[in-house]
Amino acid sequence: MIGSDVCVVGASNIDLISYIPRLPVEGETLHGTEFRMGFGGKGANQAVMAAKLGASVSIITKLGDDIFGKQTLENFQKFGIDTNNVTFTNKAFSGVAPISVDQFGKNSIIIVTGANDLLNEEEIQTAAGIISSSKVLVCQMEIPIEISISALRIAKKAGVFTIFNPAPARKDIPVEIYGLIDIISPNETEAEILTGIKIITKKDAENAGKFLVERGVKTVIITLGNKGSMIITKDEIEYCQVESIDAVDSTGAGDSFIGSLSVFLAKGKSISDSVLFANKIAGLSVQNKGTQTSFPEISDLSDELKVELN
């Protein structure tokens, strides 16, 4: 079996995005200024970002047998993503994510996972061939954690490079997962949830990264928003600064980063260079509204990045 550059196991949602002057407080009703509906879910987003950069991509996900599910499948196919392991259920609606975005680009998100919760072990085993023949496997936490672990076990056994995006984060993830991961990439909030270390300074990020390395992860990449990223391994720590950007909408920026990161790693770039390039692409995404619609195409990239993708 010929594998993909990137295989993604994860959730697919429909984003219901409201733009508002500010995020509401408890019990408050606000008038929004604009509404958009788009395709989302961390798995779907990361797969689409990778496909937009020209990578061959396969996705393993579960959709509801409804109009949202049908439209999501068509969206994957539009980007040339392998959908042979996209399955449907009539036992739950497709996942949805109501999102509020304020005038500064900050967001608040509610996820109703729906059909994503029903992705099962049998379906992962059916997809074992595509997982084990891919260059990079990407998993997150919007589907049942045991399903992500099953996919990671298959990849680990086959020597596939693995990326785990622990979002949305929770404290009680099984310790086994750390030994199955080549890269774990949380943001500041997720790193705090995983480690109990509140990240205010670079030193805090270093300590959180070291904590995760001690759990068995080879490399930790903590994304720090407009402050860049930090790469922590057993032997070294590297801080990757980013250019200052006026964000329009930060929705999906983390998925843009992970999807881009997976592509550069699949092309054999170093982790350090891959983080640098992925930061640049995520920076482009926050300058546009929406989630997948904000992700840049190859034609939107600098000549430098175009060269790196060849």
SS3 call for 36:
strand
State the catalytic residue, choosing from 5, 82, 204, 255.
255
Which residues, other chains included, contact 268 with Cβ-Cβ below 8 Å and sequence gap of 6+? none
Catalytic, 255? Answer yes
What single letter denotes the amino acid at residue 127?
A
243-269 core/surface letters (b: 16 or more CB in 10 A; e: else): eeeebbbbbbbbbbbbbbbbbbbbbeb
- Distance, in Å, from the CA atom of 32 to the CA atom of 12, rounded to the nearest integer, reads 25
Q: Residue 6 in contact with residue 121, Cβ under 8 Å? A: no
Does the CA dihedral 143-17-256-209 come out positive or negative?
Answer: negative
SS3 call for 18:
strand
- Distance, in Å, from the CA atom of 109 to the CA atom of 158, rounded to the nearest integer, reads 36
Catalytic residues: 255
